[in-house]
Structure 1
Amino acid sequence: MSVRLFAAASAALFALSGCAATSTAAAPGERYYVSVGDSYAAGYKPTGADGGGTSTDGFAYRVAEQTVAHGLPMRLANFGCSGVSTAQLRTEPGCAPTALAPGAPDYGGLSQARAAVEFVSENRGRVGLVTVVVGGNDVRPCLPIGAAPRPDAIDCVTASVERLRTDLAAVLAELRAAAGPDVPIVGVSYPDMLLGYWVTAGAPGRDVAAASVGVFRDLVNPVLRAEYAKVGAEFVDVTEAAQGYVPLTQTTSVPGYGTVPTAVAAACLYTYFCQYGDVHPTADGHRLIAEHVVRAAHIA
């Protein structure tokens, strides 16, 4: 189904099925909440160290539920696609069916960004919120999970972030033009999952965990914040919300791990890294992101 026909077709489905608030069919008087991005947007949930898939446990589905709870009901149109970098989001046609968010529309041969922009444009005046989370897959090759640290990791991250900046700026400009000046756009960053190396990789892991703080705080998140600000978007620094900047000298006791830095304990709580070596949020992590998005969008 093309994006051009998506709203009409989903409305017909809604009339027949009475879908829940997280479906993509907006009822009369409701607006749309459009989710754009990578596996965080798509709600990826690991089922073990080597498996998983997208699910409605993701933060976008929680935000949609909160719009109803707070009397500003919006139907979720989730364009998220697991695994995409910012460049892929902008230019790569389609998304593998297994990587799509639950209930996602077919892109109709378009890139995710173009499909979302067309949807927003065609529903101008009925879109109440747009969220964007992307960039993690841009820098991930510089910080390989389970491998020895790259000696050029900082240079690699710096170069990747500059490429990310260009692609993100283009995507955000198109979304803002399609949505209009008054629609809230909220950009989302990531918890510092690499802090989990503190408890999974011994002494070398502690060095990696400590170095990761600067990567998020000084290299990645300032660029994301600046690009969202240029289009009048809010920015949720999830790294900070997930206690990723708490000094590593501040400690707490965690069953199974003993005394660890508070920031490390939070990484274990909000992501699956300590459990599976997986970078994705737990239920607590998605709940945390949703709470901050709702606040940033002035829904609550």
Structure 2
Amino acid sequence: MGFRSRTFRRIPAAAAVVLALTSLTTAPAEAAGQHGRYLALGDSVAFGYRPGAVTPRSDYLNAANFRGYAEKYASLRGLRLANASCPGETTASMLTAGAQSNGCENSLGSPVGYRTSFPLHVRYSGTQLDYAVAYLRAHPDTRLVSLTVGANDLFLCQNTTPDHCTSSFPAALQQLERNLAGVLGALRAQYRGPLVLVSYYSLDYRDPVQVSQVKALDSVLGRVARRYHGAIADGFTAFRWASLRSGGDPCAAGLLIALPGGGCDVHPTAAGHRVLATALAVAAH
């Protein structure tokens, strides 16, 4: 995901990606829970969020109206999913109650956030990490934990610094890394199974500045994942491959939600989530 204010295993060669995509699209649906449980964590990408410009307000009253890569992967692998993600979650708000989020429990300059107005996929009080730790303690049959988080930290940096996070970018990444280490450390204290961080995609692979920023964020995710014996589902490369026929433009490729006034939102379409589910399948294999 490129950093515009709004809200380690890498993908192998193209043949392996095609094989994984074929597996996901042709595998028969299995009974939920047949192969254990899957805990999905993170922000609006993991939630399957769609912006208000293309979504009736009534849809937000039922979280089941939002389905992303986690739901796709769980359905096709027969896993019982608990998706605790929250739109606008930052690494800080995931780790510490009351910390600044980008629209999850609070918003910049406001105590109101998504979860104070609308239901999440699962109900909990406290932080998302509190829920995750309690869930893993209660469900030792959990077979997979995935996490997408970090982009909102940098959106906040853009919106709170005079130069829109240009000079503060390295420091923001360092703080993100410390927070993420705290999150993964707490997860690993309860869980020793597959832990996969789903990395971010670029909004435009033709833009070298944006690509550089996303790579920097994904590098942090990869470094922390390795430290805690996790894997990376390479969303960056998966989106790049899927955008090749459109010259590196995920919007034109139909991977990002088109807006009525033109252009695209930062969030994936159903097709974009299928691409991320494919990357998850490769990493979790």
TM-score (norm 1): 0.69
Amino acid at match of 1:75: R
What is aligned with 2:256?
Answer: 271
C-alpha deviations, 1:92-141, integer Å up to 9, x for none?
Answer: 26951555543x1x22x3210011111101212x1000001100100113
C-alpha deviations, 1:262-296, integer Å up to 9, x for none?
Answer: 21246752222675542111111100111111221
Stretches of structure 2 that go unaligned for 5 or more consecutive residues are 1-29, 99-103, 106-114
SS in 2 for 1:213: helix
SS in 2 for 1:48: helix
Structure with more contact order per residue of length (Cα contacts < 8 Å, sep ≥ 6): 2
Q: How much has 1:31 moved relative to structure 2?
A: 1.5
C-alpha deviations, 1:59-81, integer Å up to 9, x for none?
Answer: 1100101212xxxxx20011111
Higher helix share: 1
What is aligned with 2:172?
Answer: 160
What is aligned with 1:210?
Answer: 208
What is aligned with 2:189?
Answer: 177
Amino acid at match of 1:130: V
SS in 2 for 1:242: helix
Distance 1:228 1:99, change over 3 A: farther
CA distance in structure 2 between the partners assigned to 1:122 and 1:38 by the alignment: 23
C-alpha deviations, 1:8-63, integer Å up to 9, x for none?
Answer: xxxxxxxxxxxx966xxx5xx64210011111111112352687745342111001
CA distance in structure 2 between the partners assigned to 1:155 and 1:237 by the alignment: 27
What is aligned with 2:75?
Answer: 65
Matched ranges for 1:14-25 at <5 A: none
Residue identity (%): 28
User: Match for 1:79 among 78, 84, 102?
Assistant: 84
Any conservation in 2 of the 1:190–1:238 contact (CA below 8 Å)? yes
User: Match for 1:91 among 82, 88, 96?
Assistant: 96
CA distance in structure 1 between the partners assigned to 2:144 and 2:54 by the alignment: 34
Matched ranges for 1:191-230 at <5 A: 191-193=201-203, 195=204, 209-217=207-215, 219-230=216-227
Distance 1:82 1:192, change over 3 A: same
User: Match for 2:233 among 230, 233, 236?
Assistant: 236
What is aligned with 1:139?
Answer: 154
C-alpha deviations, 1:180-212, integer Å up to 9, x for none?
Answer: 2xx11100122112x28x7xxxxxxxxxx3310
What is aligned with 1:44?
Answer: 49
What is aligned with 2:196?
Answer: 186
What is aligned with 2:270?
Answer: 283
Q: How much has 1:89 moved relative to structure 2?
A: 1.0
What is aligned with 1:120?
Answer: 136
CA distance in structure 2 between the partners assigned to 1:97 and 1:192 by the alignment: 30
Any conservation in 2 of the 1:83–1:99 contact (CA below 8 Å)? no
Distance 1:79 1:215, change over 3 A: same
CA distance in structure 2 between the partners assigned to 1:266 and 1:276 by the alignment: 7
Any conservation in 2 of the 1:42–1:80 contact (CA below 8 Å)? yes
C-alpha deviations, 1:156-177, integer Å up to 9, x for none?
Answer: 3222211111111011011112
Amino acid at match of 2:238: A
What is aligned with 1:17?
Answer: none
SS in 2 for 1:128: strand
SS in 2 for 1:263: coil
Any conservation in 1 of the 2:242–2:253 contact (CA below 8 Å)? no
Distance 1:243 1:190, change over 3 A: same
What is aligned with 1:258?
Answer: none
